């Protein structure tokens, strides 16, 4: 990717309806001033939606997007056929041809999957990642986190211009936002709720919800393989999410109770 240190670890992050990507923040970059605090607290849904669009447009511009003929795009389109909306929000999918192992979903329905993630995951595992992120969008987990990111990543002093229209972010500010986004985390209750939503979302769409368990098994394998050599990003991922073994058990138990047959989970 072109921006410094942007999205280097496997941290699948998301944005919720009427909010930009939900991430924690770097306190070293925190800014002071009651005016900025008030502005962030009073941002309207429309204003935050504008920031989401600005961010996803910038990401699409600053990463190599696979075209319609790319095997990655063809595979993702086939995989996500039938996944058209989450809570009324139209979904659109693209693949970034980058070396980083990641994916994210935003409030406007933009889902971006990185080619390197597709290289190491089966279709079922990728579906599990997507299903989980749909849960975070549906539950609007990231709205307050995004507000805090605006307050603490030194994006700008004034968040909105006269007339209620948001002021455009500079490339530097968007890069700072990207840096803040790598530190995303949710509470365990939010993660479990997103898991459950993802299970139901996939099942309702005619996909096999065993995908949820398979995606967590892949993450668990990544954790085990990393061992003491895991990167700072990997350490954060596994320390801020609920225990993967418990998440695997929860999803497997639901699928078994529903009498759903396990898919082969082989590389396509």
The catalytic residue positions are: 133
Q: In angstroms, rounded to a whole number, what is the distance separating the alpha carbons of residues 202 and 206?
A: 6
Backbone angles phi, psi at 92, to 5 degrees: -135, 140
- β-partners of residue 90 are 85
Q: In angstroms, rounded to a whole number, what is the distance separating the alpha carbons of residues 129 and 123?
A: 10
3-state secondary structure of 185: coil
Specify whether the CB–CB gap between 164 and 111 falls below 8 A.
Answer: no
Backbone angles phi, psi at 13, to 5 degrees: -120, 160
Half-sphere exposure of residue 195: CA atoms within 13 angstroms, side-chain side: 27
Secondary structure (H, E, C), 29-76: HCCCCHHHHHHHHCCCHHHHHHHHHHHHHHHHHCCCECCCCCHHHHHH
Q: In angstroms, rounded to a whole number, what is the distance separating the alpha carbons of residues 9 and 113?
A: 14
Q: In angstroms, rounded to a whole number, what is the distance separating the alpha carbons of residues 165 and 55?
A: 16
Cα distance between the two ends of the chain: 26
Specify whether the CB–CB gap between 5 and 133 falls below 8 A.
Answer: no
In this structure, what token pair is assigned to residue 132?
A: 């989980």
In this structure, what token pair is assigned to residue 182?
A: 């790598």
């Amino acid at each position: 990717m072109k921006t410094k240190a942007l999205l280097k670890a496997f941290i699948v992050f998301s944005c919720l309806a009427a909010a930009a990507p939900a991430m924690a923040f770097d306190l070293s970059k925190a800014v002071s001033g009651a005016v900025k605090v008030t502005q962030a607290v009073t941002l309207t849904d429309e204003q935050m939606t504008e920031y989401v669009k600005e961010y996803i447009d910038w990401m699409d511009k600053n990463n190599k997007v696979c075209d319609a003929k790319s095997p990655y795009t063809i595979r993702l389109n086939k995989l996500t056929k039938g996944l058209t909306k989450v809570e009324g929000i139209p979904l659109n999918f693209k693949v970034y041809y980058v070396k980083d192992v990641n994916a994210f979903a935003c409030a406007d329905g933009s889902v971006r999957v990185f080619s390197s993630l597709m290289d190491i995951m089966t279709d079922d595992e990728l579906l599990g990642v997507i299903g989980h992120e749909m849960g975070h969008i549906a539950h609007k987990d990231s709205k307050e986190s995004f507000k805090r990111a605006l307050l603490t990543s030194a994006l700008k002093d004034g968040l909105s211009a006269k007339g209620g229209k948001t002021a455009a972010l500079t490339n530097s500010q968007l890069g700072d936002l990207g840096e803040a986004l790598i530190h995303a985390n949710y509470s365990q209750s939010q993660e479990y709720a997103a898991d459950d939503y993802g299970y139901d979302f996939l099942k309702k769409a005619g996909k096999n919800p065993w995908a949820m368990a398979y995606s967590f098994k892949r993450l668990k394998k990544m954790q085990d393989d990393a061992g003491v050599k895991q990167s700072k990003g990997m350490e954060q991922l596994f320390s801020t999410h609920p225990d993967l073994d418990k998440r695997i058990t929860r999803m497997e138990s639901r699928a078994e109770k529903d009498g759903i047959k396990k898919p082969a989970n082989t590389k396509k």
